[in-house]
Chain A
Amino acid sequence: MRMAPLPETPALSELDEWREILFLGPLKWAEVHRGDVVLVTDENVDDIAEVMGAVVTLVTHSFYYHALVYDHAWRFIHAYATQVFADNIWDFYLKKTNVTLTWLRPRHADPERIIGREETAAVVEFARKQIGKPYDLWANLAFLFRADGVSRVPDWLRTLFQNRNWLDDHGKWHCSELVGAAWWRACKVRFTDDMKSKTFLSPADISDSIYGDVVCSLKIRNGEYQLLTKQKDV
């Protein structure tokens, strides 16, 4: 009797404490780094956080609703639902059925400046220090009142929602604020040209930024894994 092949599952192979190879089967692989941004979207809406995520994708016209700071060995840090957490990608995402996780590597505006492991360690350390701080629910509403949200909004209303100095106020965090502030505070990497603008930074601003490059996408569709990379198949 012939056995059906086991479905391939994603795995990590550590290069050092800063870099890992994420692979799916023998042919598909990508090098992921500590500090990489992971952008997330889930095609299923199963809980209140994903309802909020669906609203964010609608309002910001983005494929992604969530952003997190990747650490190492599947660990990551993110602002989610109620506060900033440290979680594990396997437990949190890879048991779902229709998720896309895209690793994005931020870079300096000056292409000559290479980001080193000390800088990315500082990114993760900044994010780690925010664990336990409350979630910034207000930011989700604020996306509606950005200049690219609802048009014809009175200035006072727009100002009301776009007047928090999220880069310096570390009392609460939205997912993309945490990612943006971690990279800015740790090594002055920006996702928009004016990071000091009080306009809330959205997952769309990060995913479409010219200051970051996609490394790979790990997709789950109906429970099957797929890894998209920039490498040619081996």
Chain B
Amino acid sequence: MPHFCDEWGPDACEIEIDSQKLDVLGDFFVVRGRVVNRLACTLPHLQLRMVMHYKDHDHPPMRQGIYHITDRALEPGESCPFKIEGEYDDGMHHVEIDVWPSDPTGGLHP
């Protein structure tokens, strides 16, 4: 039985994004990358959160949603690829991704 982390923060994983430039296919964008567990405990089925930044600096960054990665648990040092596809709007530029942190009150993750 792995030792699961009780709590983790948004920087629990190192997150590598394949290309800083948004990959646009018609009406969709695709973001591919990899997460690596930085902690000494096993992370359960993780969810990532993504913020979209726009070419127009006056446009506020927008939270896009919550995305699951397909591994159900990530041991210390282990890595796992992820892929996020979404609806593309003109003006989107690049994304920022981190780990949705655990809920210290013990409620619904996150």
**Chain A interface (Cβ < 8 Å from any Cβ of B):** 59-63, 144, 146-152, 191-194, 197, 199, 204-205, 208-211, 213-214, 217, 228-232
Bound CA span A83–B96, Å:
41
**What is the chain A residue whose CB lies nearest that of B104?**
A151
Q: A148-B45, A150-B108 are in contact. Are A229 and B70 (CB under 8 A)?
A: no
Q: A204-B68, A205-B70 are in contact. Are A147 and B4 (CB under 8 A)?
A: yes
Q: Do most interface residues of chain A lie in helix, strand or loop, or is the interface mixed?
A: loop
Closest 10 CB pairs of A and B: A152-B106, A147-B44, A228-B27, A61-B66, A148-B45, A230-B26, A230-B25, A208-B68, A210-B83, A214-B85
Q: A228-B28, A230-B27, A231-B26 are in contact. Are A211 and B45 (CB under 8 A)?
A: no
Decide: B45 and A63 in contact? CB cutoff 8 A: no
Residues of A within 8 A of B22 (CB): none
Q: How many residues of B contact A (CB 8 A)?
A: 32
Contact of B26 among A149, A197, A228 (CB under 8 A): A228
Residues of A within 8 A of B25 (CB): 230
Residues of A within 8 A of B3 (CB): none
Residues of B within 8 A of A61 (CB): 47, 65-66, 68, 110
Residues of A within 8 A of B28 (CB): 214, 228, 230
Instruction: Tell me the smallest distance from the CB of B86 to a CB of chain A, in Å.
Output: 9
Bound CA span A205–B25, Å:
22
Decide: B85 and A199 in contact? CB cutoff 8 A: no
Bound CA span A211–B83, Å:
9
**What is the chain B residue whose CB lies nearest that of A148?**
B45
Contact of B72 among A60, A144, A192 (CB under 8 A): A192
Q: Does B16 contact A (CB under 8 A)?
A: no
Bound CA span A208–B103, Å:
22
Decide: A148 and B44 in contact? CB cutoff 8 A: yes
